[in-house]
């Protein structure tokens, strides 16, 4: 007798073995509270860029936000409960955007791409959440009392170096006061099998900024710099155009960098489609 899908359970391919485990479904269907994990170390650099270049990276359903500021960040996470205590790293590039739909009007940070160095979060994040995730190698952060550096590459080709120097405690306490953000904006796209060039699904989604158990432990600021190495197809056969598009973004001015440590987070089960 052929199997049937269990109501309320999360499935991914291969579905033939029953519901699969992941960030939002543990053994016996339990959830992960993300209170004491992951333990995260993050390095980020921001710069003001060319609005026309950023607009060219947005799907039609979005428009550019008020400030053409690009943020590139690397985040290393460890002791992750849903990975039974293991960890992985991510590398993302984002900038402010807006969505004005029939039901939703939101502003946030549009995530153009999120590299990760482990397949498990890539698969679950692409299929379940709609994050634009792909794979690369991400170095362990090199940290001293005044500097933090991270590199990223693929099978021997280094395509990015991130560095933050002259690290110190932010003046004025580094408190809030930033502009309102409803969360992180994404565009979920999956191609239709056999009808190449046609989408099976294509829609905007939001990771809400609210909720979760994340707490900041340490935050330092400094001078940030990005060094991109433009690639040929032979260097990065599946995403050289991604690296080159980001490398081509005009750096009008660097706006500094940060180094931070945090604990906790959320399982992102509050991800939702924008309409």
pLDDT digits (tens, 9 = 90+) for 156-206: 999 999 999 999 999 865 444 567 899 999 999 999 999 999 999 999 999
Q: Answer whether 134's CB lies under 8 Å from 191's CB.
A: no
- 1-36 pLDDT, tens per residue? 999 999 999 999 999 999 999 999 999 899 999 999
Query: What share of the chain has pLDDT > 70, as a percent?
Result: 97
Would you say residue 240 has pLDDT above 90?
A: yes
- Tell me, yes or no, whether 110 lies in a domain: yes
In this prediction, residues 244-270 reach a mean pLDDT of 98
Q: Which of 32, 26, 137, 37 is nearest to 77 (CA)?
A: 37
- Copy the structure tokens of residue 66: 């008020």
Kind of pairing between the strands at 148-154 and 69-80: unpaired
Q: pTM (2 decimals)?
A: 0.96
In this prediction, residues 79-97 reach a mean pLDDT of 98
Q: Rounded to whole angstroms, how far apart are CA atoms 33 and 53?
A: 39
Report the mean per-residue pLDDT for the chain.
96
- 50-71 pLDDT, tens per residue? 999 999 999 999 999 999 999 9
Residue 274: the pLDDT is: 98
Q: Which residues contact 253 (CB under 8 A, 6 or more apart)?
A: 47, 48
Q: Rounded to whole angstroms, how far apart are CA atoms 128 and 122?
A: 10
Q: Rounded to whole angstroms, how far apart are CA atoms 273 and 275?
A: 6
Query: What share of the chain has pLDDT > 90, as a percent?
Result: 96
- Copy the structure tokens of residue 141: 């952060």
Residue 178: the pLDDT is: 61
- Tell me, yes or no, whether 231 lies in a domain: yes
Residue 171: the pLDDT is: 82
Residue 173: the pLDDT is: 55
The count of structural domains within the chain is: 1
- Tell me, yes or no, whether 121 lies in a domain: yes
Q: Rounded to whole angstroms, how far apart are CA atoms 40 and 79?
A: 9
DSSP 172: G
- Tell me, yes or no, whether 187 lies in a domain: yes
> What domain range is 247 assigned to?
32-167+179-264
Residue 126: the pLDDT is: 97
CATH number assigned to the domain comprising residue 228: 2.40.400.10
């Amino acid at each position: 007798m052929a199997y049937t899908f269990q109501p309320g359970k999360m499935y991914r391919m291969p579905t033939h073995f029953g519901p699969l485990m992941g960030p939002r479904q543990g053994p016996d269907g339990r959830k992960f509270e993300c209170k004491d994990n992951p333990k995260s170390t993050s390095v980020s650099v921001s710069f003001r860029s060319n609005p026309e270049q950023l607009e060219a990276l947005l799907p039609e359903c979005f428009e550019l936000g008020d400030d053409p500021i690009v943020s590139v960040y690397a985040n290393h996470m460890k002791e992750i409960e849903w990975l039974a205590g293991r960890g992985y790293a991510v590398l993302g590039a984002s900038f402010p955007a807006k969505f004005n739909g029939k039901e939703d009007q939101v502003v946030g940070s549009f995530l153009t791409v999120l590299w990760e160095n482990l397949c498990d979060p890539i698969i679950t994040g692409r299929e379940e959440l709609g994050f634009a995730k792909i794979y690369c190698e991400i170095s362990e952060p090199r940290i001293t009392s005044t500097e933090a550096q991270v590199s990223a590459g693929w099978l021997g080709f280094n395509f990015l170096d991130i560095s933050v120097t002259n690290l110190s405690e932010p003046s004025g306490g580094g408190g809030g006061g930033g502009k309102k953000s409803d969360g992180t904006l994404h565009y979920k796209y999956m191609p239709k099998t056999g009808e190449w060039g046609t989408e099976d699904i294509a829609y905007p989604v939001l990771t809400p900024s609210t909720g979760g158990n994340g707490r900041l432990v340490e935050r330092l600021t400094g001078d940030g710099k990005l060094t991109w190495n433009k690639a040929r197809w032979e260097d990065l056969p599946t995403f050289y155009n991604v690296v080159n598009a980001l490398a081509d973004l005009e750096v009008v001015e660097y706006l500094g960098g940060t180094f931070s440590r945090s604990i906790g987070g959320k399982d992102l089960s509050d991800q939702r489609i924008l309409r």
